[in-house]
Amino acid sequence: MVSTSPRRSQGAVILGVFVLLALFGFALLGAVRWLKSVDRHDKEQELLAVGSEFREAIDRYRNAPGGSGQPPRKLEDLLQDPRFPSTVRHLRRIYADPMTGKSEWGLVKAPDGGILGVFSMSIQEPMKRQGFSLADQDIEQFVRTKLEVLNTKPSASALFPAENASVRLNLVAGVVQVSSASPEGEPLEPDPSAYSYRDWKFVPKPRVIGTAGPRGMGGG
C-alpha cells in the first residue's frame, strides 16, 4: 500500500487554496466591472436628463414674450431672467454635471457671446453610441458621423511606433497634429478628435413659425 506523504498533501491543499483565491478574484473583478458599467449607464441617463433641462430652459429664455429673443449671457440668467422686473425663472437651479460632479459646464456660444447650449466637460469616452431619444437625435447624428470618421482614420500606433510616450496624435479634419502630454502620460488638453461626453451638446432646435414651443416659463 502506497502512503501519501504529509508534505505532498499540504502542497495539494495550498495549490487548491490558490486556485480558489484566483477564481474568487476573477469573480470579484467581474462584479466590480459590472457595477462600474451600471453606474456609468445611470450617470449617462442623468446627463441626458439634465442636459434636456438646460436645453428647454435656454429655449424658454429665448422665446419668452417680450424678451427680445436673445440667448442668456450666463447660465445664472436662467435662474432669474434679468430682462423682467418681476421674478421669471426658466431653470430651478444650475445642476451639477453627473460625469464630473461639478457645476461647471462647457458652453456653446453665439457670435455675440450669448449661450446657445451646454455640454459636459468630461473627456471620458461614453458607453452610449446610439439609441438616443427623439429630442437628442441631433446628438446621435453627430456621434454617428464622428465615429464613422474616426473608424476611417489610421490609428496613432500605426502611424508612429510607441517609442515616445510624451507624444500623442490629434486626427482632426484629416490633419495629423502633434501635441505634448504630461510626464504621467495624461494629455495636457482634450483630444478634439476623440469621442467624449463633450460631443453631447444640448442646444435647442430652431422653432418652426406658427408651432407651439415647449412648456411655459418657470419649469426645470
pLDDT in tens, 48-88: 999 999 999 999 999 999 888 899 999 999 999 999 999 99
Give CA–CA dist 108/122, Å, rounded.
15
Judged by average pLDDT, the poorest of 32-41, 89-98, 143-152 is 32-41
Q: Which long-range contacts (CB under 8 A, 24 or more apart) does 95-104 make?
A: 95/50, 95/53, 95/54, 97/47, 97/50, 97/121, 97/122, 98/43, 98/44, 98/46, 98/47, 98/50, 99/43, 99/44, 99/47, 99/124, 99/197
Q: What does the pLDDT read at residue 220?
A: 44
Average pLDDT of the chain is 78
Q: Is 116 left (phi over 0), alpha (psi -120 to 50) or beta?
A: alpha
In the predicted structure, residue 9 carries a pLDDT above the cut 90: no
| 143 pLDDT more than 60 | yes
Instruction: Give dist(CA 203, CA 77) in Å, integer.
Output: 16
For 185, the grid coordinates are 502620460
Given this model, what pLDDT does residue 94 score?
A: 97
Rounded to 5°, the CA angle 16-21-24 comes to 125
pTM over 0.85: no
Question: Virtual CA dihedral for 68, 70, 75, 81, nearest 10 degrees?
Answer: 0
Average pLDDT over residues 139-161: 76
| pLDDT attached to residue 31 | 60
Query: Is the separation of the CB atoms in 98 and 46 below 8 Å?
Result: yes
The tens digit of pLDDT for each residue in 104-134 reads 999 999 999 999 999 999 999 999 999 999 9
Q: What is the pLDDT of residue 160?
A: 43
Residue 106: count other Cβ atoms within 10 Å of its Cβ.
Answer: 16
Contact present, 62 and 114 (Cβ < 8 Å): no
| Residues facing residue 145 across a β-bridge | none
pLDDT for 217: 43
pLDDT at 166: 39
Picking from 29-33, 198-202, 211-215, which range would have the lowest pLDDT averaged per residue? 211-215
H/E stretch holding 59:
helix 6-62
pLDDT bucket at 186, cuts 50 / 70 / 90: very low
- Round to whole Å and give the CA distance between 73 and 76: 8
pLDDT over 90 for what percent of the chain? 53
pLDDT confidence of residue 62: 95
Residue 158 has a pLDDT of 42
- Give how far the C-alpha of residue 155 lies from the chain's centroid of Cα atoms, to the nearest Å: 22
Residue 122 and residue 97 in contact, taking contact as beta carbons nearer than 8 Å? yes
Region 1-12 average pLDDT: 65
Type of residue at 120: S
Position 2 confidence tier, pLDDT thresholds 50, 70, 90: low
Confidence of residue 198 (pLDDT cuts 50, 70, 90): very high
Of the chain, the percentage scoring pLDDT greater than 70 comes to: 68
The per-type count for the chain, helices as H runs and strands as E runs, is 3, 4
What nine digits make up the cell of 70? 436673445
